[in-house]
Structure 1
């Protein structure tokens, strides 16, 4: 899909939008400096549920992000990712009665790694948040883009059901939390750079019991395992000197969960606002400041597109006295989509023994 097609699909006007206007609108929404009129994440807030499961259109960016590791009864291993992204293209909706008119653009990414089959599939879709094409709503809760959907089976409570299909790839999964929600940063305010407002509201469900079916290549598998869900919304996040991030979500076999991320700087350094979260089996959790963990790259891989990514790491959690090795289940898990990044399933080892599983996301390589 060309960039012009993406811009047209995310157009904020009615009918057939003007492509030059849409190009400017998307540029401002995703990377511009004009934030006037949008809400900003500047201080901790009281989270409200189920309301905070749906959209916050007064902010520019938002996502619902689910990753997981699944197995079938014979031990065939799969990793999966689905993310629904919402982008506000202007602070207020257009003044139009057209059912096509909206200031909201939507994008969704879907990927499956078939570990035993040695393949990785990545797909994307785009739509405008109008005419029922994409959106988020309550009673019952659901977020959707076309027929890709995450939502409650009844009302707004769990279990949630995740369904997505395209071609010979399909997911139909049931998600049930095994732990309470945890709030990242300062009570859910996750500061990403020193400038006021360069922060997000961010909570996670770090351990979701997951079961259902996964179809790939004309074959259906009954699968089960664990998933992780992140919810985040903001208007501005990265500072001028920040170029990307490396993000890790790990579910350890002893019941602990850990998330860490490093914000990479233009000069090759790491921003001190990088941090993480340690989650106990009973859902108690604490922030891991940047000086309380050490992340060392052990091995890299260069993609056909020319980007070189880390694919094995050593992670030392100093306060928890844990020394973990993280390895990609396969090196080629690059999301070669409109926005190229690496997102994939990993294994965790401790003292040379298997200790858990997780997912890693790396941008701007």
Structure 2
């Protein structure tokens, strides 16, 4: 437990000053780090930067936080449904580029496999600079211990993801069936109505997946769809923001929907999202165009969370009812949150994932 405590304290040190009231750890690490040393200030997200590929598939160590995020809705040969999540986070304690054990880069990885009746989850940490975790652009490879996403070229697709931890394992082949989608204003994704809080954010929402899952010693062939998110920032959230509700959905008409809101202390949520198609067409959804309404709540792991939602986007003639595969998905990680597979009915049918933080 010692190394986890040390890493936790290091991560909390990113917040700067002590908050005046309790703040969820997931939210704290995404607020701006305060420093009196201009040379140690993290790079800012600005609207005039153009994302460039394949370079921006790689790391951005001059920014405070970033993540590589995969969620997949899978089915086995018997029609059983599975949700899979793999994430690798990079969190910097300073802007320095010290080598070895002095590296300021800390990596955290999450892996989750969900069925209708069970959940297997694992969390790992490593410090950058010692080879235990990291990322290379060519060939594309991101790893922490034996959890690895790798590809032959400088693009993540086609790629292979494999991880194993005690009672679960996954070996997946991942191919991209569409274009990359830049959220917001060509990848500049604003997160606050007034303050300059933003991230660089793009997705690959049109992924096909096949491979094998292992749970409690039993293996299953699976196939399905997946969604890949890449995001990095140095000050994504403001002090008056409390957490977010995020939905990624593949709709039955072939389009993909990302809809999210960041909740604030004054109960006014900032909404953002996009609707996209495999040919690269994307319609940004701005603040005020998305209505996310909780319909019912459930208590799980001591948290009362909205488990049924209505998603209304009048400009897109979208009106969805959202239900979860499994309610007990509060993930007890160092930075805890709820994440799990969902299905939608209404104006469209579809499957995807929901994430709730800051509760």
The corresponding residue for 1:8 is 6
1:104-253 pair list within 5 angstroms: 104-115=105-116, 118-154=117-153, 156=155, 158-194=157-193, 197-253=196-252
Deviations 1:145-170 (A, max 9, x none): 11111121455462111111101200
Q: Residue deviations 1:172-212, cap 9 Å, x none?
A: 11111111001011110011125664211110001100011
User: 2-side partners of 1:257 and 1:219: how far apart?
Assistant: 33
CA distance in 1, matches of 2:161, 2:53: 19
Corresponding residue to 1:343 among 339, 345, 354: 339
Where 1:290 maps in the other structure, the secondary structure is coil
How far apart in 1 are the matches of 2:95 and 2:313? 41
SS in 2 for 1:5: helix
Distance 1:89 1:302 in 2: 35
Contact 2:246/2:260 (8 A) holds in 1: yes
- 1:49, CA displacement in angstroms? 1.5
Number of aligned positions between the proteins: 343
In 1, Cα distance between equivalents of 2:275 and 2:7: 39
* CA deviation profile, 1:290-334 (whole Å, cap 9, x unmatched): 322222111211112x21111111111101112111101111111
Q: Which of 269, 274, 284 is 1:287 aligned to?
A: 284
Normalising by structure 1, what TM-score? 0.89
Relative distance call for 1:157 and 1:257 in structure 2 (3 A) is closer
Superposition deviation, residue 87 in structure 1 = 0.6
Name the TM-score, length of structure 2 as normaliser: 0.90
Q: Residue 84 of structure 2 contacts residue 112 of structure 2 at CA under 8 Å; is this kept in 1?
A: yes
State how far apart, in whole Å, the 2-side matches of 1:171 and 1:260 are.
Answer: 28
Task: Give 2:59's aligned residue.
Answer: 55
Taking a change above 3 Å as real, the CA distance of residues 60 and 157 of structure 1, as seen in their structure-2 partners, is closer
Q: Does 1:77 align with 2:75?
A: no
* Local SS of the residue matching 2:142: strand
Contact 2:57 2:156 in 1 (8 A): no
CA distance in 2, matches of 1:33, 1:89: 9
Q: Residues 32 and 238 of structure 2 are in contact (CA less than 8 Å); yes or no, is this contact kept in structure 1? A: no
Residues 194 and 239 in structure 1, CA contact (< 8 A), matched pair in contact too: no
Cα distance, 1:213–1:294 mapped onto 2, change above 3 Å: same
What is the aligned partner in structure 2 of residue 298 from structure 1? 295
Task: Tell me how far 1:93 sits from its aligned partner.
Answer: 2.2
Cross-structure match for 1:360? 354
- Measured at CA, do residues 88 and 197 of structure 1 come closer, stay the same or move farther in structure 2, by a change above 3 Å? farther
Q: Deviations over 1:73-129 (max 9, x none)?
A: 1111100111100011111123xx6x32201001011111112xx001221001101
- Choose which of 48, 62, 68 in structure 2 pairs with 1:64: 68
Decide whether the 8 Å contact of 2:15 with 2:33 is kept in 1.
no
Task: Look up the SS of the partner of 1:291 in the other structure.
Answer: coil
User: Residues 309-320 of structure 1: matches in 2 within 5 Å?
Assistant: 309-320=305-316
SS at match of 1:319: helix
Match of 2:323 in 1: 327
* RMSD between aligned residues: 1.9
Moved more, 136-145 or 25-34: 25-34
